[in-house]
Structure 1
Amino acid sequence: MKTFPFRTPFRTPFRTVALLALLPLVPVLAGCGRSGGLASAGATATASGPVHLWPDRQGAAVPPADPGGAPPEYVQGIPPVPDQNVHAVDPVALVQAELRAHPNADVGADGMPPETAAAIRGCGQEGAERAACPVLTPYYRDLTGNEADELIVGIEFPDKMMSVRVYTADADGRLNRIMATTQTVVSVELAGRDVILRVPSGNNGYELITAWSWDEKQRTMLPTREQIVRVPGNPQTPVGPSPGLVPGTGTSP
């Protein structure tokens, strides 16, 4: 009688186990090319970095740039405000105090036009029309990150020019002017902690957008970003402010 060596009935050779494990995958792999299955996206484009042209050429020496913003200046003739609350400040009285502190501000080509200075001095006087006052309705926004609002003032100049000024109150309540620029302005916007000015560029049909931001080191607002953009449609059509801004608040309703 022929005998066979004893084997454990539960022991399956390794090759048999591997083959059985692969069998359920055969239908899946067979359907990869069908609709809804995996498909190749093609060859991946080779990434290319910037190429430095004429690397042997010695470039021009670039001196450090002027920060470009007006130096901070405390306003004389305005009493300190409690709790850094600039909402309590009368913007007309503030601008009038600056004129008194700088009596020659309306003299010279770079100063305030004499007719604008005269109109500011007449703001609020008996019989004066409010519409004739060139100091516009103020806006408020925390631009410095000190968890207190800053005061944003606009002054209309002739020929669509405008002076945009920003004031903050220090811990002692003293008002400090941290931004002052005069330009031919298309529009002024607030975006986050930035004051955005849109002005005509030197090219027809384009505008220059400048973002003014708080600089902790200089302790003033500086023009930090600039961009030239094409004006859609009529280049003479002003671009309105960002929707949702409420005059006198600088915040969304």
Structure 2
Amino acid sequence: MRYRLVAALGAVAGGALLAGCGAGGGLRSTGPAPHAIGPARLWPELPPASAAPYDYGEGETARIPGIELPDGDVHRLDPVAVAQAGLKARPDRSSGTAALPADTVRRINECHDAPASCPVLRPYFRDLTGDGKDDMVLGIRLPDDQVSVRVYMPEAGGLTRILSTSDAVISIELAGRDLIMRVPSAITGYEYRTAWTWDQRQRAMLPTRDEILRMPPPRTSRPPVAPSATAPSASASPSAGVAAERR
């Protein structure tokens, strides 16, 4: 008997809810849904490419010689020493993307003697690989307002460079475990944004998202507000103000 009563009450409540939905407008159709269109492969007779036409340096890594880091704490490393040791890493001795201009190399080697002209920027730290240890993000100024961005990961008691890329940047940001670079585009009003993300399989940071976006319009500064004619003069002496109040 109790079960039937509960069931009856539930049926009545359900009917009331349905009636309420119908009375209050309920769900309304917005028209027929568009048909899904699957991808269509163009020119299927073309053979697939077997190699990339250009080398952008994706996946390039290098063990940094002479850097010992048994505790894996990159915070205590001298960024200039890291940059100088990185010049001796294998990709820097070739014509790869990690190579730096000769004048920049000279100024890096002279950082301690001429700190004012040192191109090594202060480092930032973030766990980009997800191993629980901070990595070092280092920037090096290059000619023509370009910046070389390098990320170093503590690994096996030493240091491994897991990213090396250079560009003329608008800004460089850390968002979660991504390093995002904003780069000017040749199209007025647009910019490129590339997100570099750690890839466990490649053991390097790869450009997982590369897009061109419209830049937001510049903010217009508001004109300064003119002082009111009834406002007290800033040069009025405190004694004059006190005398006015007493009157």
TM-score (norm 1): 0.68
Specify the alignment match of 1:73 in structure 2: 62
Aligned AA (1:48): H
Can you list the C-alpha shifts for 1:139-162, whole angstroms capped at 9, x where unaligned? 001111110001110001011111
Specify the alignment match of 2:202 in structure 1: 218
Can you list the C-alpha shifts for 1:148-177, whole angstroms capped at 9, x where unaligned? 00111000101111110011111x311011
Specify the alignment match of 1:88 in structure 2: 76
State how far apart, in whole Å, the 2-side matches of 1:218 and 1:120 are.
29
Alignment equivalent of 2:143, drawn from 138, 155, 158? 158
Q: Does 1:62 align with 2:48?
A: yes
- Number of positions where the alignment pairs a residue of Structure 1 with one of Structure 2: 202
Q: Does 1:42 align with 2:23?
A: no
State how far apart, in whole Å, the 2-side matches of 1:63 and 1:182 are.
26
State how far apart, in whole Å, the 2-side matches of 1:165 and 1:32 are.
62
Q: Secondary structure at the match of 1:196?
A: strand
State how far apart, in whole Å, the 2-side matches of 1:30 and 1:137 are.
64
State how far apart, in whole Å, the 2-side matches of 1:211 and 1:52 are.
26
Q: CA deviation at 1:102?
A: 6.3
Can you list the C-alpha shifts for 1:69-116, whole angstroms capped at 9, x where unaligned? 1422111122x2132111111110011112245697598998422221
Cα gap change, 1:227 to 1:84, in 2 (>3 Å)? same
Larger RCO: 1 or 2 (CA < 8 Å, sep 6+): 1
CA radius of gyration, larger in: 1
> Given that residues 68 and 223 in structure 1 are in contact (C-alpha distance below 8 angstroms), is that contact kept between their aligned partners in structure 2?
no
Alignment equivalent of 2:176, drawn from 182, 185, 192? 192
> Given that residues 70 and 180 in structure 1 are in contact (C-alpha distance below 8 angstroms), is that contact kept between their aligned partners in structure 2?
no
Larger relative helix fraction: 2
Unpaired runs of at least 5, structure 2 = 1-10, 219-247
> Given that residues 98 and 164 in structure 2 are in contact (C-alpha distance below 8 angstroms), is that contact kept between their aligned partners in structure 1?
no
Unpaired runs of at least 5, structure 1 = 1-20, 235-253
TM-score (norm 2): 0.70
Aligned AA (2:182): R
Q: CA deviation at 1:213?
A: 0.7
What is the 5 A alignment of 1:1-253?
Answer: 32-33=22-23, 37-39=24-26, 41-52=28-39, 58=44, 60-63=46-49, 66=52, 68-78=57-67, 80-101=68-89, 105=93, 111-125=99-113, 128=114, 130-170=115-155, 172-233=156-217
Cα gap change, 1:227 to 1:121, in 2 (>3 Å)? same
